[in-house]
Amino acid sequence: MTQREYALNNQISEEMKIVAKDEYMNENTVVERLKKGTIAIVKNKNRKIKALAVGEGLSTKINANLGTSPNASNIDFELEKMEVALKYGADAIMDLSTGGNIVEIRRQLLDKCSVALGTVPLYEAGHEAIKKGKKMHELSVEEILDIIKRQAIEGVDFMTLHAGLTSATLKRYNHTERLAGCVSRGGAIMLEWMHTNNKQNPFFEHFDDILDVLREYDVTISLGDGMRPGCLADSTDRLQIDELITLGELTERAWAKGVQVMIEGPGHIPFNEIETNMIIEKKLCKNAPFYVLGPLVTDIAPGYDHITGAIGATLAATTGADFLCYVTPAEHLRLPTLSDVKEGVIAFKIAAHAADIATGYTNAIERDHKMSAFRKALDWKGQFETALDKEKCLEYRKDTPDDVECCTMCGEFCSMKRDSDTIKK
């Protein structure tokens, strides 16, 4: 049984108990929200990990994307990136490998990953096509669906499936103007397959069969947004919202089969459209957990998209998003390095935490109060222990002479010190 099915049977699983305890939530509330689908507890039933709990009333979680590409593939490097992501607080990992021995990479990541691991099975499909000397559209429906089954058996906890791209989407796409077009890798593979074969999306056509597989292993379906806007100009357009309507319908079908669901969201969205995007997802998809990529609030900052993304993500998570996919400084430029992964995770931890404070999540602000008390006391050790990144703090502090009680920014002009020493002594 899936976590959803346990809940529907009014059974409280171990996973639910842990979530309830960790998140200051009544166990019955966890059960009720699993029933409604507003919470997902993401964990393949064959995996021994800390489940990823996302949704209504839970703290905001973040995901770090890893993975090789045809131009760069090295298993050890993937494992190192995963370590960095976990060290700085990623709540989930996605393996988006498209190059090298991707089955073995996934096997090793699954083996060593202590949190939920997700994939985009179409990437393995595309990779397999290349290996077999085929074009991607030459893959058979069976070959594609088989990959989902194999990955479910292997233990993948959640899968992005672009099931909302239908023949109707493709038709609408062909007569709708877009600046960046289709920027989803999985979405583009699927549209090419549908376009070239003149056939319906197999994920859509065989949705019930896929659900049976996912249900068996309690794999959470992350309904992909193949039509997500890849630039501000394409945001919140008909293609995006049309796909979201279909994702809402698919959500109800998945729930009816006992399968847990997340909805994937954009992308590139102007800051003033973000709240609308959160509300419309919650409405059209019956409050299914929303998993967003950024969103990036401007297109002009390659090299800094961890910042453009963290800005959008903070507003998104404050107004409805449950799960944030990080963006690294390498976005739009290259595969991320270890340092890119670190920068991305920290930027999104900031966004998630700032949003949890904004929505009043229980005790979220306590760490800030602790930090501020250390600041006021000029207790540098205490500050650094409380900080998101102790090492960077130490690095920045290292040139300060030992006899400087404050920091080199203010020296004896330190307001904290003056305040304590004189004004409010």
Restricting to residues 184-243, name those near a copy of itself by CB under 8 A. 184-185, 187-189, 191-192, 195-196, 230-233
**End-to-end alpha carbon distance in the chain:** 63
- Work out whether strand 39-42 and strand 52-55 pair parallel, antiparallel, or are unpaired: antiparallel
Which residue carries 């602790």 as its tokens?
370
The yes or no reply on residue 86 touching a copy of itself (CB under 8 A) is no
Longest pairwise C-alpha distance within the chain: 79
- Cα–Cα dist 177/282, whole Å: 26
Count of residues touching a copy of itself (by CB under 8 A): 106
Cα angle for residues 294, 231, 175 (degrees, 5° grid): 130
Residue 272 makes contact with a copy of itself by CB under 8 A:
yes
424 binds a copy of itself (CB under 8 A): yes
Candidates 297, 324, 327, 341; binder of a copy of itself (CB under 8 A) is: 297
Residues 40-69 close enough to bind a copy of itself by CB under 8 A: 69
CB 311 to a copy of itself: min, Å: 5
| 378 in contact with a copy of itself (CB under 8 A) | no
Residue 46 or 400: the one with the smaller Cβ distance to a copy of itself is: 400
Of 111 and 399, the one with the shorter C-beta distance to a copy of itself is 399
Q: Which of 333, 339, 379, 381 is in the footprint of a copy of itself by CB under 8 A? A: 333
* Integer Cα distance of 178 and 230 in angstroms: 10
Peptide bond into 202 cis (omega under 30): no
Residue window 242-271: x/- pattern of binding to a copy of itself, with contact defined by CB under 8 A: ----------------------------xx
Of 15 and 340, which has the nearer Cβ to a copy of itself?
340
Closer residue to a copy of itself (CB): 65 or 251: 65
Total Cβ atoms within 10 A of residue 181: 15
Least distance in Å: CB of 98 to a copy of itself?
5
The footprint of a copy of itself on residues 94-113 (CB under 8 A) is 98-99
- Contact between 292 and a copy of itself by CB under 8 A: the answer reads no
What does the alpha-carbon distance between residue 189 and residue 137 come to, in Å, rounded to a whole number?
8
Give alpha helix (H) positions in 113-174. Answer: 121-131, 141-154, 167-174
Span 389-408, contacts to a copy of itself by CB under 8 A: 389, 392-393, 396-397, 399-401, 404, 407-408
Instruction: Report the length, in residues, of the chain.
Output: 425
Q: Which of 116, 121, 83, 86 is nearest to 102 (CA)?
A: 121
Task: Give the residue, chosen from 161, 310, 316, 341, that forms a contact with a copy of itself under the rule CB under 8 A.
Answer: 310
Q: Determine the Cα–Cα distance for residues 321 and 355; give it in Å rounded to an integer.
A: 10
Which pairs from 391-395 meet CB under 8 Å and 24+ separation? none
